[in-house]
Chains A and B, each alone.
Chain A
Amino acid sequence: MMELRHALLTMGVIMALATVGSVHAADEGRLLATGGLVSIEGAAGGGIVPMAVLAGLSTDPGWDWVAGASHSTVTDFSLDTLGVAASFNDRFEISLARQQLSTDFSHDTGLAENIRQTIIGAKLKLGGDLIFGKVPLMSAGLQWKHNDDFALAEVLGAEDDSGLDAYFSVSRLHLDGPFHRNWLFNGTLRATRANETGLLGFGGGRRDGYQMVGEVSTTMFFNPEWALGFEYRQKPQNLDSVNESDWRDVFVGWFPNKRVNLLLAYVDLGTIANRPDQDGLFLSVTGNF
Chain B
Amino acid sequence: MLTIRFLAFALLLLVVACASNGRNDLYQALGGESGVRRLVDEVVRELHSDARISKLFKDTDDSYFKERLFEQFCELSGGGCTYAGLSMEEAHSGMQLTETDFNFFIEDTRVGMTRAGISIGAQNRLLALLRPMHGDTLHQ
Chain A positions near chain B (C-beta within 8 angstroms):
27, 29-32, 59, 131-133, 175-176, 179-182, 222-224
On whether the beta carbons of B99 and A181 are closer than 8 Å, the reply is no
On whether the beta carbons of A224 and B110 are closer than 8 Å, the reply is yes
From DSSP, what is the main secondary structure of chain B's interface residues?
Answer: helix
On whether the beta carbons of A59 and B100 are closer than 8 Å, the reply is yes
| Residues of B close to A29: CB separation below 8 A | 98-100, 103-104
Q: List 29 A-B contacts (CB under 8 A).
A: A27-B100, A29-B103, A29-B104, A30-B99, A30-B100, A30-B103, A31-B103, A31-B106, A31-B107, A59-B98, A59-B99, A59-B100, A59-B103, A131-B131, A131-B134, A132-B131, A132-B134, A133-B134, A133-B135, A175-B124, A176-B125, A176-B128, A180-B120, A180-B122, A180-B125, A181-B120, A182-B124, A223-B120, A224-B110
B127 part of interface (Cβ distance < 8 Å): yes
Which among A30, A131, A179 is the interface contact of B121 at CB below 8 angstroms? A179
| Residues of B close to A180: CB separation below 8 A | 120-122, 124-125
On whether the beta carbons of B124 and A132 are closer than 8 Å, the reply is no
Q: Measured between C-beta atoms, what is the minimum distance from B129 to chain A in Å?
A: 8
In the complex, besides A175-B131, A176-B127, A182-B124, 5 extra interface pairs with C-beta distance below 8 angstroms are: A29-B104, A59-B100, A133-B135, A176-B124, A179-B121
| Residues of B close to A182: CB separation below 8 A | 124
Closest to A133 in B: B135
| Residues of A close to B104: CB separation below 8 A | 29
**A34, B139: Cα distance in complex, Å:** 22
Q: Measured between C-beta atoms, what is the minimum distance from A128 to chain B in Å?
A: 13
**A30, B106: Cα distance in complex, Å:** 11
Chain B: residues with Cβ within 8 Å of the partner, total of 19
On whether the beta carbons of A181 and B98 are closer than 8 Å, the reply is no
| Residues of B close to A132: CB separation below 8 A | 131, 134-135
Which among A59, A133, A222 is the interface contact of B120 at CB below 8 angstroms? A222
| Residues of B close to A222: CB separation below 8 A | 120
On whether the beta carbons of A181 and B135 are closer than 8 Å, the reply is no
Closest to B102 in A: A132
**A52, B122: Cα distance in complex, Å:** 28
Chain B CB within 10 A, most for which of A30, A131, A176, A223:
A176
**A133, B132: Cα distance in complex, Å:** 8
On whether the beta carbons of A175 and B99 are closer than 8 Å, the reply is no
On whether the beta carbons of A181 and B124 are closer than 8 Å, the reply is yes
| Residues of B close to A30: CB separation below 8 A | 99-100, 103
Beta-carbon contacts under 8 Å, B87-117 to A: 98-100, 103-104, 106-107, 110
| Residues of B close to A31: CB separation below 8 A | 103, 106-107
**A131, B106: Cα distance in complex, Å:** 12
| Residues of B close to A133: CB separation below 8 A | 134-135
Give the 7 A-B CB pairs with smallest separation, nearest first: A29-B100, A180-B121, A176-B128, A175-B128, A132-B134, A59-B100, A176-B124
**A222, B122: Cα distance in complex, Å:** 12
Closest to B130 in A: A175
Closest to A175 in B: B128
**A182, B110: Cα distance in complex, Å:** 13
**A14, B128: Cα distance in complex, Å:** 34
Q: Measured between C-beta atoms, what is the minimum distance from A288 to chain B in Å?
A: 15
On whether the beta carbons of B134 and A181 are closer than 8 Å, the reply is no
| Residues of B close to A131: CB separation below 8 A | 131, 134
Closest to B138 in A: A132
**A13, B25: Cα distance in complex, Å:** 48
| Residues of A close to B120: CB separation below 8 A | 180-181, 222-223
Closest to A223 in B: B120
| Residues of B close to A59: CB separation below 8 A | 98-100, 103
Q: Measured between C-beta atoms, what is the minimum distance from A90 to chain B in Å?
A: 9
Q: Measured between C-beta atoms, what is the minimum distance from B88 to chain A in Å?
A: 13
**A131, B134: Cα distance in complex, Å:** 10
**A133, B107: Cα distance in complex, Å:** 19
**A62, B122: Cα distance in complex, Å:** 37
